[in-house]
Amino acid sequence: KAGVTQTPRYLIKTRGQQVTLSCSPISGHRSVSWYQQTPGQGLQFLFEYFSETQRNKGNFPGRFSGRQFSNSRSEMNVSTLELGDSALYLCASYPGTGRFNEQFFGPGTRLTVL
Amino acid sequence: AQSVAQPEDQVNVAEGNPLTVKCTYSVSGNPYLFWYVQYPNRGLQFLLKYITGDNLVKGSYGFEAEFNKSQTSFHLKKPSALVSDSALYFCALQTGANNLFFGTGTRLTVIP
């Protein structure tokens, strides 16, 4: 099976712009979660989507949003970018049913905000 | 509230020696604990998890972890370190909502 893929791998944006990141989960996985990784804050949970519905949400401002399509692919959007949004954004997938399953992570999208 | 602490930012160990990466947790209710590893320019890879049962959990690449409820710890161990084990290791606590709370990470360096 192909792993979790994320596009693009690298992005450079300026303050005030918006950005959309994409994640394709492992085939058959219906849950996609997004995480932000920064040197200062570490790894923080953004949100989880399951069957096109947001199932859980972390403590991030409304500028961070996401969606999931019927094929389980997910996009994450950040509007009005701030310097502090520079980070590695990771998505993870798992089948979506059952509990305490391992999550499979993609390689991440590194976003730099100038 | 739940939290995970990894008290060591950096651990250095000689190749062939045993290694330990420490993790402590705080949670009301049962802990569901995971270890993930991150290699440069890669996403996280699952190593092992503790949900219930035996306190010694065996995982991938020869790693194991010992769950200790009284000390609220879940330390990662390996009997003999390899240079290829050098990476960033994360301990994580999973809530019933399926999202992971990560520790700050420990960078392991195995010296040849």
Nearest residue on chain B to A6, judged by CA atoms? B43
Cβ contact, residue pair A33, B51, below 8 Å? no
pLDDT bin (cut points 50, 70, 90) of residue A76 is very high
Q: Which of A56, A102, A105 sits opposite B43 (nearest CB)?
A: A105
- Å between B1 CA and nearest CA of chain A: 14
Q: What percent of chain A has pLDDT over 90?
A: 87
pLDDT bin (cut points 50, 70, 90) of residue B53 is confident
Round the average pLDDT of chain B to a whole number and report it. 94
pLDDT bin (cut points 50, 70, 90) of residue B77 is very high
* Strand pairing category for B44-50 and A19-24: unpaired
Round the average pLDDT of chain A to a whole number and report it. 94
Q: Which amino acid is at B78?
A: K
Give the whole-angstrom CA distance, residue B55 versus residue B61: 19
Mean pLDDT score, A54-83: 96
Other Cβ atoms closer than 10 A to B51: 15
Interface residue B100 vs chain A (CB under 8 A): yes
Mean pLDDT score, B52-60: 92
* Residue pairs spanning A and B at CB distance below 8 A: 54
Residues 58-87 of B with CB under 8 A from A: none
B63 near B21, Cβ under 8 Å?
no
Mean pLDDT score, A21-31: 95
Mean pLDDT score, A73-99: 93
- Give the closest residue to B106 by CA, choosing from B15, B35, B21, B46: B21
Compute the Cα dihedral for A107, A113, B5, B10 and give only its sign: positive
Residue-level pLDDT at A35: 96
- What torsion, rounded to 10 degrees, do the Cα atoms A7, A66, B42, B26 define? 180
Is the pLDDT reported for residue B98 higher than 90?
no
Q: What percent of chain B has pLDDT over 70?
A: 99
The residue among A98 and A67 whose pLDDT is bigger is A67
Residue B94 token pair:
């999973």
- Give the closest residue to A21 by CA, choosing from A70, A101, A78: A78
Give the whole-angstrom CA distance, residue A49 versus residue A73: 10
Contacts of A41 (CB under 8 A, 6+ apart): none
Is the pLDDT reported for residue A97 higher than 90?
no
